[in-house]
């Protein structure tokens, strides 16, 4: 968890500093991967664009309302998933049997 990622989690997700490590572990364990989310072409296009624009992350996981960008096992930043794609992410999460509070 980088300093930048911690700041972004606070700003963009409203997650307090003391619970951030726990949320990151949940995202790592239960987040939707690129391959799991490639079922929907719009979501795949958004993730691909995110990857190409950032260039540093080698793993992007979708968890909650955020896209968690990792380099190896270090969280670099969190970006909010657009409202237009939230319904698709929730549907995929439900299909995979993921719950946010595991």
Query: What does pTM read for this prediction?
Result: 0.85
pLDDT of 100 higher than 70: no
H helix runs in the chain, sequence order: 3-8, 20-30, 34-37, 41-54, 83-96
pLDDT in tens, 5-47: 999 898 888 889 999 999 999 999 989 988 888 888 999 999 9
What pLDDT was estimated at residue 12?
87
Sheet harboring 59-63: ordered strands across? 59-63, 66-71, 74-80
Residue 98: the pLDDT is: 54
């Amino acid at each position: 968890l980088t300093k930048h990622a911690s700041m972004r989690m606070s700003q963009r997700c409203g997650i307090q500093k003391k619970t951030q490590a726990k949320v990151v572990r949940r995202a790592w364990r239960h987040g939707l991967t690129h391959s799991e989310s490639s079922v929907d072409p719009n979501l795949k296009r958004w993730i691909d664009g995110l990857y190409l624009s950032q260039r540093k992350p080698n793993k992007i996981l979708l968890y909650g309302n955020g896209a968690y960008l990792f380099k190896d096992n270090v969280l670099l930043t969190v970006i909010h998933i657009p409202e237009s794609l939230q319904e698709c992410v929730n549907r995929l999460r439900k299909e995979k049997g993921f719950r946010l509070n595991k």
